[in-house]
Amino acid sequence: MKHFIRFESKELGQELIDLARAYKATPRLDLAKGQGKRVGCIFLNPSLRTRVSTQIAAQNLGMEPIVLNMDKEGWALEMKEGAIMNKGTVEHIKDAAGVLGSYFDILAIRAFPSLTNRDEDVNDFIFGQFVKYCGKPVVSLESAIRHPLQSLADQITMKEYSDGKKKPKVVLTWGPHIKAIPHAVANSFSEWTLGMGYDLTITHPEGYELDEVFTKGATLEYNQSKALEDADFVYVKNWSSFNDYGKILSTDPSWMLTEKHLKKAKNAKVMHCLPVRRNLELSDEILDGSRSLVQKQAENRIYAAQAVLSSILG
């Protein structure tokens, strides 16, 4: 595997899930594998889980992780080719990415979308500039449109809690939020869930349709109660509108999942990538109850990252 940026195939997905589960059973199984290697974790945006789990994953493989909070500690980056840099930007991405590539064996990058320029975001412009200029294998720590490490951890978690069911019903439901939130987690969850062969139902208020590139093959159901019937896994996430790009079209509190919503889904497990705004996006009673898998998902972030780094090391 050269880069880890998107879902590639069911076979590779399964390999990564199996490897991650082996690492979960024996975290230091391959402690010698990454000796003498460095991974640079470059953050252009905040993070808790991704930052820490990727560092632990690297250490479990004997690698040295170095974190750079580029948004706060690095120079202001210029992204435009041929720019005359006589304003606020100090360093061009091609110089910065080239230097980082020379320092590290693997670069891991987080670059959120602007949510104002749909074309740039859909083409993952900033993330793509790093890939183009660093010359090293790249791991996505969440780009403008995808969060594959989160999705891999989610797949591991669903595997662990499927109770042997071959075709569990998986539902992705929109939850309310007061901020415009990126599409990356919802896109990637859909891409990976469909790619791994699950049936997926997506439910949200009208106007919140995701990019079809990620949802082709899913069932769209605007009626949330109907969508949730007999669900085995319910993934809760907010996202802003894709068609009316980056806009908040609804904050309807009736979409926030509570026990009442799951009356017809008695065994449903509830997932969320975190961070979550409690009692806005998802209720305390669900998050603190026995259905919640959110802490398990967060724990699995370590082994997802470890499997990915290990596969890139070869």
**Which residue numbers belong to the known binding site for carbamoyl phosphate?**
47-50, 75, 110, 147-150, 273-274, 301
Query: At residue 240, what is the residue type?
Result: S
Q: By CB under 6 A, is residue 295 in contact with ligand CP?
A: no
Q: Which of 24, 49, 177, 291 binds ligand CP (CB under 6 A)?
A: 49
Q: By CB under 6 A, is residue 273 in contact with ligand CP?
A: yes
Q: By CB under 6 A, is residue 274 in contact with ligand CP?
A: yes
- 216-255 footprint of ligand CP as x/- string (CB under 6 A): ----------------------------------------
Q: By CB under 6 A, is residue 50 in contact with ligand CP?
A: yes
CB of 190 to ligand CP, least distance (A): 16
CA distance 32 to 60: 9
CB of 146 to ligand CP, least distance (A): 12
Whether residue 59 contacts residue 122, with contact meaning beta carbons closer than 8 Å, is answered with no
Q: By CB under 6 A, is residue 60 in contact with ligand CP?
A: no
CB of 92 to ligand CP, least distance (A): 27
- For the segment 146-165, give every residue that binds ligand CP (CB under 6 A): 150
Q: Which of 12, 14, 27, 47 binds ligand CP (CB under 6 A)?
A: 47
CA distance 156 to 79: 36
Q: By CB under 6 A, is residue 143 in contact with ligand CP?
A: no
Alpha helices in the chain (DSSP H): 10-25, 49-60, 70-73, 93-103, 118-122, 125-134, 148-160, 184-195, 212-215, 224-228, 284-287, 294-313
- Cα-based angle 289, 55, 48 (whole degrees, multiple of 5): 45
CA distance 221 to 233: 16
CA distance 289 to 158: 18
